[in-house]
Amino acid sequence: MDTVARIRPIPIAYPDPNDFGTIRRTVLVRVQTADGVVGWGECIAMWPEACKAVATIISEGLAPLVEGQDATDTAGIWNRMRQHIWWYGEGGIASMALSGVDMALWDIAGKIAGKPLHDMLGGLKHERLIANASSHVNKKGEAACVAEVVGFFEAGFRSCKLGFAKKGESNIGGDPDTDVSFIRALRKALGPDAPILVDIGNGVKWDVDTAISVANRMAEYDIGWFEEPLYPTDDAGYKKLAASTSVRIASGEREFTAAGYRRQMEMGAVEVFGVDPARAEGITGFRKVDALASRFAKTINAHAWSTAITSAASLHLSLASPNTELFEFKPFDVVVQTELVTDRVWHRDGWAYPLTGPGLGIDVVEEVVERLAANV
């Protein structure tokens, strides 16, 4: 039996061209076994104080529980961590902390078994998934924003998801007429078949009637889904919206636990659930949500908008799930995707194919980790 020898949380910081050059932060987790097997995970805490808190929870709370345990006992260790955080956790930064440790342990379990993660999870349910470019609309003026998305398709992507009201020079997300005009122009430029997913998100503050009106006006241009147009816990608003439009509603990326996802699935209004394995209690937590999605006949969509470690985990989970439709990539080069691993997690001809190496199937470059850790 190989045991967990050392768990190290590593906060990092880096500028992200996908977010208008903003300095983004996250916490990587390096786990090493007594036999020297190394696994990697991520906790997508993002805010500086949340990254510090996550690192403290891991090093002072979770590491003492997990070190010395059978490194391949992912379910047993997940339960131990879950029991430990019962008072302050089951959500929030504690769930993020647990996520990174669980992800690293699955990486180790796969490496010890000599199998890619998707094999550990019951095998592929898709040979490949459509590669989606997930971008923030942040250029000045409608024409420049449309041209940028057209460029993603020219670069091979087969789908786009567009975040509104982000940092940058665009006024998208400010005025519904401007937003509908953008989608109209984009549909005209892309032609009838290109999937267009609209991610309204945290920066937009619409009331329910505005959300209904925008959804129905955008429905004329055949959008694939309408993501987070209302506050995530506005159940009454989501029910009214879903009853008033034919557009599929997406939400869930701010949820942390299977219990939270079940509540939203029982509520019934949301059809597409974002799930981030670096937030929603790891590989183990994601699989619990995936099982719920099967039971409630919902679509799930991996939120993988961070480092290559979460992208790799999300790709295995997405390909091993019967409930996924596509896979999201950051379209612009960023160090945590291009340099953090030896081989980029990337699409081929607009398709996301399985990673075939053991565990997460990536080789993390430790010099790059240390360089980004020095930015904190």
Given the rule CB under 5 A, which residues bind Mg ion? 199
Directed axis angle between helix 176-190 and helix 142-154, to 10°?
Answer: 40
Q: What angle do CA 368, 371, 376 make, to 5 degrees?
A: 130
CA distance 176 to 229: 12
Shortest spacing between CB 352 and Mg ion, in angstroms: 18
Nearer to Mg ion, 107 or 199 (CB): 199
Instruction: Return the number of the residue (181 or 202) whose C-beta is nearest Mg ion.
Output: 202
Closer to Mg ion at the Cβ: 103 or 200?
A: 200
CA 210/CA 228 separation, integer angstroms: 13
Using CA atoms of 245, 250, 252, 254 in order, give the dihedral in degrees to the nearest 10: -100
- Closest distance of CB 261 from Mg ion, Å: 15
Residue pair 163/201 in contact by the 8 Å Cβ criterion: yes
Angle at 212 between CA 208 and CA 213, to 5 degrees: 120
**Closest by CA position to 247, among listed 215, 220, 213:** 215
**Least separation in angstroms between CB 285 and Mg ion:** 18
CB of 202 to Mg ion, least distance (A): 8
Q: Which residue is nearest to Mg ion (CB)?
A: 199
The two tokens of residue 190 are 């892309």
Shortest distance (Å) from residue 1 CB to Mg ion: 41
Residue number with CB closer to Mg ion (280 or 362): 280
Q: Which one, 199 or 325, has the nearer CB to Mg ion?
A: 199
* Nearer to Mg ion among residue 31 and residue 334 (C-beta): 334
CB of residue 303 vs Mg ion: minimum separation in angstroms? Answer: 7
